Amino acid sequence: MNGLRQALPPLAVVGAVIAAWWISVIVSESLIFPTPWQVVAGLYELIEEGTLLEHIGASLFRVGAGFFLALALGVPLGLLMGWVGAAFAMLNPIVQILRPISPIAWIPIAILWFGVGDLSPIFLIFLSSLFPTVVQTIAGVHTIDRQYLRAAQNFGVSRMRLFRRVVIPAVLPEIITAARISLGVAWLVVVAAEMIALRSGLGFLIIDSRNAGNRYDLVVAGMAIIGVTGLLLDGGMRRLERLRIVRWRYLR
């Protein structure tokens, strides 16, 4: 009952948005922009053709590959830069120079290096996820309460053991936050990344539907799927934040 009460307000907002969308299309007498029902019919068409799951799976694969590669490099790099002052001094200028460059600007380089297959969008998603992960992890190390470090040092704990037993557990909340932000950015970039002459994925679905007869019902359907999938992915990351091993730093 409590869960239903919590779900009602967001459901009411979604319903109001859909109603406003439907009324706007009817009032404007648009011949191109679809109504919500036309979008649902387009989704059903994709399901009948058997292509919907193929597009979703292709996008999830590319986002997953780029995202986990970014975590595999970004978390250790962020820990190193946050813990070792010399590493921060040497690497931070490079990170800050590359970080503002839009992943879309890398498209010509991605095609040149990796061609027009899966590797190009994976590379772009990797770049879009890497720098938020690095920056947030560094911030996590820098904001560790010094009383943890002093307490461990008072017991004669070595620097390496201090890093393993105190720093890494203490920075886990920030790492999860970094992963959540990076996954959101990665999913945001997937549409642009899949414009690179691919034949599958939600980004391809949107562009192909626009080019093949102005199927805006399928365009909006693809956008809706991206939004709902992004919501589910973010919900999964939020559940990780509730783990006791992640929250111990804030427990009293």
CATH of the domain at 52: 1.10.3720.10
Q: Would 23 be classed as within a structural domain?
A: no
Query: Does 19 reside within a domain?
Result: no
Average pLDDT over residues 33-52: 88
Say how many domains are in the chain.
1
Domain contains 106: yes
CB distance 178 to 133 below 8 Å: yes
Any domain includes 17? no
- Tell me the per-residue pLDDT of 58-84, one tens digit each, with 9 for 90 and over: 999 999 999 999 999 999 999 999 888
Tokens of residue 180, six digits = 């959540």
Question: CA 2: distance to chain centroid?
Answer: 30
Asked if 98 and 134 count as a contact pair (C-beta separation under 8 A), the reply is: no
Range of the domain at 106: 37-250
- The DSSP secondary structure of the chain, one letter per residue, reads -HHHHHHHHHHHHHHHHHHHHHHHHHHHT-SSSPPHHHHHHHHHHHHHHT-HHHHHHHHHHHHHHHHHHHHHHHHHHHHHHHH-HHHHHHHHHHHHHHTTS-GGGGHHHHHHHHTTSTHHHHHHHHHHHHHHHHHHHHHHHHTS-HHHHHHHHHTT--HHHHIIIIIHHHHHHHHHHHHHHHHHHHHHHHHHHTTTT-SSSHHHHHHHHHHTT--HHHHHHHHHHHHHHHHHHHHHHHHHTT-HHHHGGG--
Residue-wise pLDDT for 90-123, tens only, equals 999 999 999 999 888 898 898 889 888 889 899 9
**Res 252: pLDDT:** 45
Please report whether residue 7 resides in a domain.
no
Task: Give residue 63's pLDDT.
Answer: 92
Residue-wise pLDDT tens digits, 166-208 = 777 888 888 888 888 899 888 888 888 887 767 888 888 888 8
The reply to whether 244 falls in a domain is yes
Report whether pLDDT(160) > 50: yes
